[in-house]
């Protein structure tokens, strides 16, 4: 798949920009919107995503689908696996906090925000990823959850553009496989990278907090939680609390 790159030195948010201009994007290609800095970076649940200049990956992969299907929910998981694979080439071993937070040494290294917008007769999928690469500790401390960067963990600087380029290649490849064969070929790998398996967690399903044990990942990528009562509850969205 051809990738058309749109790069900005500074932008409000690569996802917000992509949403605004999605109707202009080529239908048969992927548009990759990247920025050196975001002034209004957005995270899940309307949170702010700290996006200082020239330190991190801020990227939105955009492509078209004919219609909204439940399988679109797996695409952020495929991107998360692509990030894990891209950073493995730099010898990092990451974990995923269901559904698609990227963890390094138990702290949040990156996150994914997946949005869709209707463009005439097609749906544009806009899947934004932020990965903290060279962010120093003093900036990480502004984040209200345990966050980290490759630099904070190693004391070494990494090439942000190189990470974007490896991530792009990996994601294009994995997305092609996903479109052909669905989530099945990714399941074993995805389950393998899931953090807190069999452990006690608190989970917010956008309505209430549930406590239980992370029991399993279903074939469709959803999560089963075993409540303290023994009942097993299935979730397709939500967030494991820190
Ligand atoms: C999360 O809350 O974990 C998701 C964070 C997603 C951040 C990325 S940075 C690039 C893209 N543009 C945004 O405004 N957000 C996403």
Q: Which atom of ligand 1 is nearest to the CA of 47?
A: 2
Q: Residue 205: its pLDDT value, please?
A: 94
Strands (E), the chain: 3-11, 30-38, 57-65, 95-97, 101-104, 107-119, 122-131, 200-204, 209-217, 223-227, 232-235, 239-240
Cis peptide before 38 (omega within 30 of 0): no
Structure confidence by residue, pLDDT tens digits, 144-185: 899 999 999 999 999 999 999 999 999 999 999 999 999 999
Query: 12-16, 50-54, 67-71, 119-123: which has the minimum mean pLDDT?
Result: 67-71
Identify the DSSP state of 226.
E
Closest CA to 227 of 213, 207, 216, 237: 213
pTM of the model: 0.97
Burial class (CB within 10 angstroms; exposed 0-12, middle 13-18, buried 19+) of 35: buried
Q: Is beta strand 232-235 parallel, antiparallel or unpaired with respect to 30-38?
A: unpaired
Q: Is the CB of 212 under 6 A from ligand 1?
A: no
111 lines ligand 1 (CB under 6 A): yes
100 C-alpha to center of ligand 1: Å? 12
Mean pLDDT for the stretch of residues 14-29: 97
Per-residue pLDDT averaged across 3-14, rounded? 98
**pLDDT per position as a tens digit, 206-226:** 899 999 999 999 999 999 999
Q: Taking residues 177-197, report their average pLDDT.
A: 97
- Best mutation site among 111, 143, 147 for ligand 1 pocket (most ligand atoms within 8 Å of CB): 111
Report whether residue 168 contacts ligand 1, using a CB cutoff of 6 Å: no
Which of 17, 22, 58, 61 best tests ligand 1's pocket when mutated (most atoms within 8 Å of CB)? 58
Q: What is the pLDDT of residue 68?
A: 86
1 C-alpha to ligand 1 centroid (Å): 24
Do the beta carbons of residue 204 and residue 236 sit within 8 Å? no
């Amino acid at each position: 798949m051809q990738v058309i790159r749109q790069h900005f030195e500074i932008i409000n948010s690569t996802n917000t920009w992509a949403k605004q201009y999605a109707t202009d994007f080529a239908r048969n290609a992927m548009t990759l919107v990247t920025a050196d800095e975001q002034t209004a970076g957005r995270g899940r649940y309307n949170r702010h995503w700290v996006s200082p200049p020239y330190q991190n990956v801020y990227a939105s992969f955009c492509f078209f689908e004919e219609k909204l299907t439940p399988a679109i929910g797996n695409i952020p998981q495929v991107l998360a696996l692509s990030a894990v694979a891209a950073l493995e080439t730099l010898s990092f071993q990451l974990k995923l906090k269901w559904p698609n937070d990227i963890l390094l040494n138990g702290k949040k290294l990156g996150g994914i925000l997946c949005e869709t917008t209707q463009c005439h007769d097609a749906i544009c999928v806009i899947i934004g990823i932020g990965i903290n690469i060279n962010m120093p500790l003093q900036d990480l401390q502004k984040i209200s959850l345990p966050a980290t960067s490759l630099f904070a963990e190693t004391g070494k600087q990494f090439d942000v553009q190189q990470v974007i380029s490896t991530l792009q290649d990996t994601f294009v490849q994995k997305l092609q496989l996903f479109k052909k064969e669905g989530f099945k070929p990714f399941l074993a790998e995805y389950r393998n990278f899931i953090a807190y398996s069999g452990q006690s967690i608190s989970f917010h399903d956008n309505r209430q907090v549930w406590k239980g044990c992370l029991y399993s990942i279903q074939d469709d990528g959803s999560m089963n939680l075993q409540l303290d009562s023994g009942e097993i509850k299935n979730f397709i969205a939500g967030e494991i609390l820190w």
